[in-house]
Amino acid sequence: MSQIQAIRERVRRLGARPAHELRILRLWAQAKPQNSGRRPLESFMPTALREDLAQLTDDLNGLLRLQSAHPAEDGSVRWLLALQDGQTLETVGLPRDGLCVSSQVGCAVGCVFCMTGRDGLIRQVGSAEIVAQVAFARLHRPVKKVVFMGMGEPAHNLDNVMEAIEVLGTVGNIAHKSLVFSTVGDPRVFECLPMGLVKPALAVSLHTTRADLRAQLLPRAPKMSPEELVEAAEVYARQTGYPIQYQWTLLEGVNDSEEELEGIVRLLKGKYALMNMIPYNAIDDLPFKRPSWERAAEMARTLHRRGILTKLRNSAGQDVEGGCGQLRARELQSALNEPPVMNGTSPIHFVKAKPATVL
């Protein structure tokens, strides 16, 4: 039951009418009990559906379970959540009632500075599993904004992501502009998002204005040049009235040069855009470093003076070393380092997944 459509079909078989179906999805997405409300269920709900609610609730709660929680000093918390098949993903509670969700286990893009993509794409996260991350988080803290910036590339899981966005933006009580679809850039995004019932805000992982460097940093991203990407994003910004959030992970000696500043001004001057600069969250065994805060601040000030709205952000959870994919990687490494667990006569073997091709 990892798909929202499967939930809809289940309740319809039990006699649910559209109002019942929406009620069930609304209460689940908002983390409220299915018997909420003043009216007794028997006064308006079909008997078969009513009798299945307890089991349905258990099944929805069982879509994922907490593996570990890692609160940080900045008010964020990183949760490692296990799916029903034993795969794990990361969900991050952000300051100011935000939530970062994962759309894939692993990732096919293979960004060279990211832990998530090192093993390739392992599997898609179903639409119900995406909403379940929000429902889980709401049991622990308010959620008023959901960003699809966790593990995975949402453009490679479009059907599931868009189905989840529709639920969250309607019965899930999240404002459309507070749903943020993040992508490295894919032509399908610019075709699909304008057609949705809920049109989310868009964040584009840019990272450099140089096409050659972008191909090195994001080796399996679609072959859109920075110029093509910005032009396509600008069309969507004007359609929705939401500025595009350009994401720029600051890497010392890689994309923090004066040349890049000039390139950003050239690309974004006059555009409906916001530049988010995020100093790199260091990962063991990778050669990249974050520039000094002073250098990062100077870059942001320079862009402001040149007419580019820029925010300098710090990646949540720096003190718990919880950069995207790190919790999952540490958990898998810990499992690999443990002695074999005997169950009957056969030990359990952990097999490293092969990298997947771009979908």
CA 161 – CA 285 distance, rounded (Å): 32
Catalytic residue among 100, 107, 114, 324: 324
Torsion 237-242-246-247 (CA) sign: negative
- Known catalytic membership, residue 114: no
Instruction: List Cβ neighbours of 166 (8 Å cut-off, separation of 6 or more).
Output: 196, 197, 198
Distances 91 to 125, 150, 170, 204 between C-alpha atoms, Å: 12, 7, 21, 20
CA 167 – CA 173 distance, rounded (Å): 9
Q: Answer yes or no: are the C-beta atoms of 212 and 171 closer than 8 Å.
A: no
Distances 271 to 232, 233, 266, 292, 355 between C-alpha atoms, Å: 11, 10, 10, 28, 36
Q: Answer yes or no: are the C-beta atoms of 120 and 356 closer than 8 Å.
A: yes
- Known catalytic membership, residue 324: yes
Strand partners, 124: 104
The terminus-to-terminus CA distance of the chain in angstroms comes to 23
Strand partners, 250: 279
Contacts 24+ apart (CB under 8 A), 33-36: 33/57
Catalytic residue among 21, 90, 163, 260: 90
Q: Which positions are catalytic?
A: 90, 324
